[in-house]
Chains A and B, each alone.
Chain A
Amino acid sequence: DIQMTQSPASLSASLGETVTIECRASEDIYNGLAWYQQKPGKSPQLLIYNANSLHTGVPSRFSGSGSGTQYSLKINSLQSEDVASYFCQQYYDYPYTFGAGTKLELK
C-alpha cells in the first residue's frame, strides 16, 4: 500500500495569513493526488485534484503543487470559513489511501 504522510497534524494561523500543508507519498504517485476540506459534522469536499487542478467552485486562494512523492496545499489570505480539517488522498493506485489529516484553527 502507498502510505501518505501528512503534516502538520494541527495548525493555528491568523486571518489573512498564508498556510501550507504537506503530504508525502511512500512512492511516486504521478500527481494522482487530491485535497479535501472537511468542516465539523460535514462530509469532505474536494478542493484540488491531479495535484494542482482547482475543483469547480473552489475559491482561488486554494492551490496545490508538487510532483513525485511530495505535494502541498496552500491557502492564501486565510478566511474564517477555512477553519476545517484537510486531508490528502492518493488515487494513483489501489488501495486508495488518505493522509491522517490536518486540523486548521484560527489563532
Chain B
Amino acid sequence: QVTLKESGPGILQPSQTLSLTCTFSGFSLSTYGMGVGWIRQPSGKGLEWLANIWWDDDKYYNPSLKNRLTISKDTSNNQAFLKITNVDTADTATYYCARIADYSGPFDYWGQGVMVTVSS
C-alpha cells in the first residue's frame, strides 16, 4: 500500500525559508524509474507543479520560482524534502507530495497535503 504524508511548519514569516518533508511507504526512491514530486494549491485555486526528484537523484524545478527551490531525498528513511527560500504571502498554499511510478508517468498517489501560511 502506497502512502505519502507531508509535514511542515504551518505558519512562517515573510523572507523565511520553508522546509517541507514527505514521508512515504509502499515504495522505494531507489527503484529504477521512481520519483516524487511537489505540487501546491492556494486555497480555492488551481494546482502548480514545483519540483520532481528521481531515483537517480535527477532533479527538475519549475522555472517560475526561479532559484528559490531545492528538492532532495533520504532514500534510506523513505523521505523527500523541499525547501523554498525567501517566502512571501503568495507562497501561502496547501503543499502536496506525490509519487511518480514511471519515469514518464503521472502522479499516481498523493499525500493528504499540508497547509502553509506565510504571514507577518
Point out residues on A near B: beta carbons under 8 Å: 32, 34, 36, 42-46, 49-50, 55, 87, 89, 91, 94-101
- On whether A100 and B46 interact (CB within 8 A), knowing A43-B96, A43-B113, the answer reads yes
User: Does B47 lie within 8 Å of A46, measured CB to CB?
Assistant: no
Point out residues on B near A: beta carbons under 8 Å: 37, 46-49, 52, 60-64, 96, 104-113
Partner of B104, one of A32, A44, A89: A32
The CA-CA distance from A44 to B110 in the complex, in Å, is 7
Number of A-B residue pairs at CB separation under 8 A: 54
User: Does A95 lie within 8 Å of B63, measured CB to CB?
Assistant: yes
The CA-CA distance from A99 to B60 in the complex, in Å, is 20
The CA-CA distance from A61 to B111 in the complex, in Å, is 25
A45 CB to nearest chain B CB (Å): 7
- On whether A46 and B62 interact (CB within 8 A), knowing A98-B48, A101-B46, the answer reads no
The CA-CA distance from A47 to B110 in the complex, in Å, is 12
User: Does B104 lie within 8 Å of A91, measured CB to CB?
Assistant: yes
A96 CB to nearest chain B CB (Å): 4
Residues of B within 8 A of A49 (CB): 105-106, 108
The CA-CA distance from A50 to B110 in the complex, in Å, is 18
